[in-house]
């Protein structure tokens, strides 16, 4: 994905039925169409098992949802960065609130994405952890207050100070890190509010995935920018 300062949307598929298996492939085609029609950068983060068929069927950037801080060997059931890389992903979410890592593991995984030339999207839960995570120099930090995730209450409108202060604290440490915000984002107003607060884009899920018409919801999301 382009790392310039144009608005960015990353859709996290999580493990919703509507974004799993064949539904995940169909949704990815809608995201591709919405991105092509609007000219806005849109990337997706499907489950690991769905990565390969999706990467075969769309051109938009596809990210993993998680990587473990492991090396090849005896780690049954784990997500090996090198294996994810081989599917053709362009980056990965790291430390999502629903899949947290220790500080030491975050360090290892961000470093691994750098070695593999993958985009790192490091997720954080508040202003303090965002500032701490800035020292790892990821490409993106995505601030998502866990109490708003999945509620439909948009962080950019309900807690604007969290987004604003996160941008400020991160940029005191490293101006090159782009900040995304997420939790409860679903409409064009939510997206516009995020950009007005200094975020470069949004990381979101249920507002699009659970919408009756997923493609229309994506087009509405970028209608005010």
Ligand X SMILES: O=C(CO)COP(=O)(O)O
Give yes or no: 96 in active site: yes
Residue 61 is a binding residue for ligand X (CB under 6 A): no
Which among 66, 144, 164, 169 is annotated as catalytic? 144
Residue closest to ligand X, measured at CB: 206
Please report how many Cα atoms fall inside a 13 Å half-sphere around the Cα of residue 105, on the Cβ side: 16
| 63 Rama sector, left if φ>0, alpha if ψ -120 to 50, beta otherwise | beta
Which CB sits closer to ligand X, 117 or 212? 212
- Catalytic pick from 18, 37, 66, 96? 96
Interaction of residue 207 with ligand X, rule CB under 6 A? yes
Is 205 annotated among the ligand-binding residues? Answer: yes
Burial 65-99 (b: 16+ CB within 10 A, else e): bbbbbbeeeeeeeebbbeebbebebbbbbbbbbbe
Residue 203 interacting with ligand X (CB under 6 A): yes
Q: How far is the CB of 217 from ligand X (least distance, A)?
A: 11
144 scored as a contact of ligand X (CB under 6 A): yes
**Contact pick of 149, 177, 217, 222 for ligand X (by CB under 6 A):** 149
Q: Tell whether residue 91 is a contact of ligand X (CB under 6 A).
A: no
Given a contact cutoff of 8 angstroms between Cβ atoms, the answer to whether 11 and 31 are in contact is yes
Residue 163 sits in the site that holds ligand X (CB under 6 A): no
C-alpha–C-alpha distance, residues 107 and 67, integer Å: 12
Number of neighbours of residue 117 by Cβ within 10 angstroms: 9
Is 149 one of the annotated binding-site residues? yes
Q: Give pairs for 79-86: CB < 8 Å, separation 24+.
A: 79/48, 81/109, 81/112, 81/113, 81/116, 82/116, 84/48, 84/51, 85/116, 85/118
Piece of the chain touching ligand X by CB under 6 A; list 80-88, 192-200, 203-211, 215-223:
203-211
The span from the CA of 223 to the CA of 225, in Å, is 6
Name the minimum Å distance from CB 168 to ligand X: 22
The helix/strand/coil state of 32 is: helix
> Residue 179 interacts with ligand X (CB under 6 A)?
no
Concerning whether 144 is annotated as a catalytic residue, the answer is: yes
Report whether 184 belongs to an annotated binding site.
Answer: yes
From 7, 46, 182, 201, residue interacting with ligand X (rule: CB under 6 A) = 182
Question: Which two three-digit tokens encode residue 107?
Answer: 């360090």
Instruction: Enumerate the active-site residues.
Output: 96, 144
> Which residues of this protein are in contact with ligand X, per CB under 6 A?
12, 96, 144, 149-150, 182-185, 203-207
The binding site for substrate consists of: 12-14, 149, 184, 205-206
């Amino acid at each position: 994905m382009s790392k310039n300062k144009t608005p960015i949307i990353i859709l996290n598929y999580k493990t919703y039925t509507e974004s799993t298996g064949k539904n995940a492939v169909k949704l990815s085609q809608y995201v591709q169409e919405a991105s092509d029609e609007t000219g806005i950068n849109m990337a997706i983060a499907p489950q690991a098992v769905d990565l390969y068929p999706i990467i075969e069927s769309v051109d938009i950037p596809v990210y993993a949802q998680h990587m473990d801080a492991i090396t090849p060997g005896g780690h049954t059931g784990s997500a090996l960065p090198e294996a994810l890389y081989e599917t053709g992903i362009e980056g990965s979410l790291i430390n999502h609130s629903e899949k947290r890592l220790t500080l030491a593991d975050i360090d290892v995984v961000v470093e691994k994405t750098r070695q593999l030339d993958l985009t790192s999207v490091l997720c954080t839960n508040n202003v303090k952890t965002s500032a701490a995570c800035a020292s790892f120099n990821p490409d993106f930090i995505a601030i998502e207050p866990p109490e708003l995730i999945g509620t439909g209450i948009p962080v950019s409108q309900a807690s604007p100070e969290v987004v604003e202060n996160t941008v400020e604290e991160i940029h005191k440490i490293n101006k090159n890190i782009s900040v995304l915000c997420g939790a409860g984002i679903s409409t064009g107003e939510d997206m516009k509010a995020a950009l007005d607060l200094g975020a470069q884009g949004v990381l979101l899920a249920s507002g699009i995935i659970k919408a009756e018409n997923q493609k229309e919801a994506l087009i509405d999301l970028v209608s005010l920018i």
